[in-house]
Amino acid sequence: MTAPEDVVMAAPVDVPWHRLDRRMLFIRPVLDLVKSLPVLFGALILGHGDSWQWIGVAVTALTVLAGISHVLTSRYRITAEQVEWHTGLLLRKDRAIPRDRIRTVDVTSEPKHRLFKLAAVRIGTGRHSHGKGPGGDELLLDAVSLDEAQRLRTTLLHRKAVVTADEPAVESSEKLVAAIDKRWLRYAPFTLSGLAVIGAMIATVYHFAHELHFDPVEYGPLRSLVARSAEAPTWLVVVLAAVALLVAVSLLSVGGYVLSFWNFRLTRESEGTLHVRRGLITTRSVSIEEDRLRGVEVKQPLPLRAVGGARCTAIAGGLWEGKSADKGGGLLLPPAPLARVHEVVDVVLGEDYDPLTVPLTRHPRRALNRRLSRAVGGVALLAVALFLLSWIDFLPDWPWQVALVLLPVAAVVGWDRYRNLGHTMTGRYLVTSYGSLDRTTVALRREGITGIVLERSFFQRRAGLITLVAPIAAGKGSYNVLDLGESDGLALADQAVPGLLTPFLTRVHPQLVDESL
Amino acid sequence: MNEETSATTVLRLRPPKHQVSRKAMGYWAVWAAVFWLIVLTVQTVIVTTSDDAPTWITVTLVISCVLTPLHLLVMPRWRYRIHRWEVTGEAVYTQSGWIKQQWRLAPISRIQTVDIERDPVEQLFGLAKLTITTASAAGPLRIAGLDRAQALALADELTSATQAIRGDAT
């Protein structure tokens, strides 16, 4: 008798099933145990009475057993049409992903994996699951051996090559597009990535100190430091603190840069895939099918822009931004000189020019008023609120005074935002540029845009401006062209998705323009 | 020639052809009435039961009493004017939004799913809500307040048109 699943998944040729690497049995239980330590401790220490302690132990045991059963019972195979996956002992789960829907293969080796030369393989499809539960269209194999990961990557993504030539002896050629340059480290401090680390550290220390009723300022070196700074003039304390913070942020940022981007290599394989490898301790390897590339995004946060740096991300189906595990999946180049970014974009997009260097059309001056009023208005409102709070003696005076000082800064930011607004349609690319503190330039391939959304707020309506939203099944999901003149915006939308708007467009004389868009 | 004309004329987007069902006004009014009923009940209970109700609570109750009929009278008509839709052989086109106006267009070839939804009040009025998704995460196109029979016919038409075109081009 055949097992039920064999009847359902009757493949023309019997493809053998593969299992997760057994060496995960050494890693997974230990990690699960560590993860459930808080529960265990909570139950053993705080839970008075036997029953609570047993519940804690039982929960921990279940967690560990579930982990072990996941490693033991998960199996997968790649048939001619799809990738099939089964898991579970009591609660069985089956999943099958058609091979032609696979867009990306992400191979990540965390320290736990590197212990045994293993890697977690994430197989992504281009779909955003619409409420079908998390990861409904994604497969995570945690973990397989590095060789197996490599095999999966090549079989799943190089299917065109597999169809034509079956012998594995044919070596795929790989062309280097970009590799890490030690000199790029000078951009690391300007990414300010260390700021987040310091913030998290302070929050953790504060949280624990608060929980344990322990005030760090009362003890040890901090106490003497606080005592001494009370005697020194305020400006000196502020300057010293700022310098110390700057040094710490710089060091941490450089450390973060090395950890994430060491051994960075971007290559292009003859089968039409881009391959990114990077990481010092956690290594990551992401493959992107060039057919699925929908565009590129270049980001220049203000400090990085000041020193002529930028970073570059691919907008591709199967790579969604924002989800924790996928974060940074589309990275094409770590913070590097702008000129280098443009060279890479040039190669990656495979055009004979870089659409991001094409001069952009500026937006009407009415857009400047809007940027200014939004930037300055926000800070002004804050200042008024802070003033009212100090007026009722809830806050001291200095917060609203600081907010007042920030007003001109906000005005400059607003002006810079307007200066950075731009758009153009060049060849098959819609290019849009916006932002000041985090200046972004995006080039989208026209064929990836899945529709058109036009938006007009009350204030935009009065200023005769509209925002064009280009929905796309990749990256952030949609990209905006802010504050276009109405007629220009419609013309741009008509070019971006040819024919979609045309039947609904009318031409009128400027004298006859009424309220409708 | 085109460029010559564009120098003297400006482009405008015409609104979609069709309005939703007139019954939708009743539907919107019912939901608004339910909302105001809850608000007014809570306020009245507070004012009448507490011994010494602060004046501002009484003031908000009076404001609610003024706002309720205004909202019930104005909102459904206004919405009815704003919400429009159109389906051609090539595209779906919707218009919505009160303070922030929005026009959404999707080519038929990019449509992934067409859903029909009906809440109890919609069933009472014989209405249905149509949700059309594409592969993008930028949000679906929604046509609310369609006549039920019309919504079903439209969903059928869109589904068969989508199936005729293989793949969603993602």
For residue B155, the distance in angstroms to the closest alpha carbon of chain A comes to: 19
CB contact under 8 A, A472 and B136: yes
Is the pLDDT at B1 greater than 50? The verdict is no
- Segment A244-254 mean pLDDT: 89
Band of pLDDT at residue A371, cut at 50, 70 and 90: very high
Rounded to 10 deg, the angle between the B23-49 and B55-82 helix axes is 180
- Segment A67-71 mean pLDDT: 88
A490, closest residue in chain B (CA to CA): B11
Tokens representing A142? 């945690």
CB contact under 8 A, A456 and B100: yes
Look at A329 and A361; give whichever has higher pLDDT: A361
For residue A87, the distance in angstroms to the closest alpha carbon of chain B comes to: 28
| pTM assigned to the model | 0.78
DSSP A93: E
CB contact under 8 A, A454 and B102: yes
Q: In sequence order, what are the residues at sequence separation of 6 or more whose Cβ sits closer than 8 angstroms to the Cβ of residue A113?
A: A27, A119, A120, A143
Among the partner residues A317, A452, A510, nearest to B105 by beta-carbon distance: A452
User: Is A159 buried (19+), middle (13-18) or exposed (0-12) by CB count in 10 A?
Assistant: middle
Q: Using DSSP, state whether A34 is helix, strand or coil.
A: helix
Report how far residue A102's alpha carbon sits from residue A260's, in angstroms, rounded to the nearest whole number: 26
Does any CB of chain A come closer than 8 Å to the CB of residue B90? yes
Report how far residue A277's alpha carbon sits from residue A108's, in angstroms, rounded to the nearest whole number: 10
Produce one character per residue of A271-287: b if its CB has 16 or more CB atoms within 10 Å, e if not: bbbbbbbbbeeebbbbb
- pLDDT of A56 reads 80
CB contact under 8 A, B102 and A453: yes
Contacts of A497 in chain B (CB under 8 A): 105, 107
Does any CB of chain A come closer than 8 Å to the CB of residue B2? no
- pLDDT of A27 reads 87
CB-CB contact of A428 with A404 (8 Å): no
DSSP A79: -
Among the partner residues A476, A506, A510, nearest to B14 by beta-carbon distance: A506
CB contact under 8 A, B12 and A505: yes
Report how far residue B65's alpha carbon sits from residue B59's, in angstroms, rounded to the nearest whole number: 10
CB-CB contact of A484 with A456 (8 Å): no
Does any CB of chain A come closer than 8 Å to the CB of residue B58? no
- Segment A491-504 mean pLDDT: 92
Give the lowest-confidence range in A47-61, A318-332, B151-165: A318-332
Other Cβ atoms less than 10 A from the Cβ of A138: the count is 21
Report how far residue B150's alpha carbon sits from residue B126's, in angstroms, rounded to the nearest whole number: 10
Produce one character per residue of A205-239: b if its CB has 16 or more CB atoms within 10 Å, e if not: eeeeeeeeeeeeeeeeeeeeeeeeeeeeeeeeeee
Report how far residue A101's alpha carbon sits from residue A95's, in angstroms, rounded to the nearest whole number: 14
CA distances from A401 to A305, A377, A388, A410, A513 (A): 29, 16, 12, 14, 46
Look at A511 and A43; give whichever has higher pLDDT: A43
Q: How does pLDDT run across B29-83, given as a tens digit for each residue?
A: 999 999 999 999 998 888 888 777 778 888 888 999 999 999 999 999 999 999 9
Residue from A104, A289, A319, A453 whose CB has the most chain B CBs within 10 Å, to mutate: A453
- pLDDT of A136 reads 52
CB-CB contact of B111 with B92 (8 Å): yes
CB contact under 8 A, A127 and B13: no
Is the pLDDT at A80 greater than 90? The verdict is no
Does any CB of chain A come closer than 8 Å to the CB of residue B166? no
Report how far residue A391's alpha carbon sits from residue A385's, in angstroms, rounded to the nearest whole number: 10
DSSP A182: G
Element (H, E) at B10: strand B10-13
Among the partner residues A317, A457, A506, nearest to B170 by beta-carbon distance: A317
Tokens representing A95? 């999943």
Strand order in the sheet with B127-133: B113-117, B127-133, B141-147
- pLDDT of A214 reads 65
Band of pLDDT at residue A512, cut at 50, 70 and 90: low
Interstrand relation of A331-337 and A174-179 (parallel, antiparallel or unpaired):
unpaired
Long-range CB pairs of A402-410 (<8 Å, 24+ gap) are A403/A379, A406/A379, A407/A376, A407/A379, A407/A380, A407/A383, A409/A379, A410/A375, A410/A376, A410/A378, A410/A379
B106, closest residue in chain A (CA to CA): A451
Does any CB of chain B come closer than 8 Å to the CB of residue A503? yes
Is the pLDDT at A326 greater than 60? The verdict is no
CB contact under 8 A, B13 and A501: yes
Does any CB of chain B come closer than 8 Å to the CB of residue A444? no
AA identity, residue A303: P
User: Is A310 buried (19+), middle (13-18) or exposed (0-12) by CB count in 10 A?
Assistant: buried
Tokens representing B3? 């460029």
Does any CB of chain B come closer than 8 Å to the CB of residue A513? yes
Contacts of A454 in chain B (CB under 8 A): 13, 102-104
CB contact under 8 A, B136 and A452: no
CB contact under 8 A, B110 and A450: yes
A502, closest residue in chain B (CA to CA): B13
The ipTM, to two decimals, is 0.86
Partners of A442 in the β-ladder? A297, A432
Give the lowest-confidence range in A230-244, A409-423, B80-94: A230-244
DSSP assignment string, A218-249: GSHHHHHHHHHHHHS-HHHHHHHHHHHHHHHH
A491, closest residue in chain B (CA to CA): B11
Produce one character per residue of A369-389: b if its CB has 16 or more CB atoms within 10 Å, e if not: bbbbeebbeebbebbeebbee
Return the closest-CA partner of residue A86 out of A98, A70, A101: A70
A125, closest residue in chain B (CA to CA): B170
Look at A499 and B50; give whichever has higher pLDDT: A499
For residue A284, the distance in angstroms to the closest alpha carbon of chain B comes to: 25
B 14-53: CB under 8 A from A: 14-16
CB contact under 8 A, A453 and B103: yes
Does any CB of chain B come closer than 8 Å to the CB of residue A323? no
CB contact under 8 A, B135 and A452: no
Contacts of B97 in chain A (CB under 8 A): 455
Q: If you average pLDDT over every residue of chain A, what do you get?
A: 82
For residue A455, the distance in angstroms to the closest alpha carbon of chain B comes to: 5
Is the pLDDT at A510 greater than 80? The verdict is no
For residue B24, the distance in angstroms to the closest alpha carbon of chain A comes to: 23
Give the lowest-confidence range in A79-88, A325-334, B138-147: A325-334
Among the partner residues B90, B102, B138, nearest to A499 by beta-carbon distance: B90
CB contact under 8 A, B11 and A499: no
Report how far residue A178's alpha carbon sits from residue A362's, in angstroms, rounded to the nearest whole number: 32
Phi (first) and psi of residue B105, to 5 degrees: -130, 135
- Segment A187-194 mean pLDDT: 84
Among the partner residues B6, B100, B103, nearest to A457 by beta-carbon distance: B100
Count of pairs with CB atoms under 8 A, one residue in A, one in B = 140
Return the closest-CA partner of residue B107 out of A471, A477, A475: A471
Does any CB of chain A come closer than 8 Å to the CB of residue B9? yes
Does any CB of chain B come closer than 8 Å to the CB of residue A500? yes
Q: Using DSSP, state whether B158 is helix, strand or coil.
A: helix
Is the pLDDT at A387 greater than 50? The verdict is yes
Does any CB of chain B come closer than 8 Å to the CB of residue A479? no
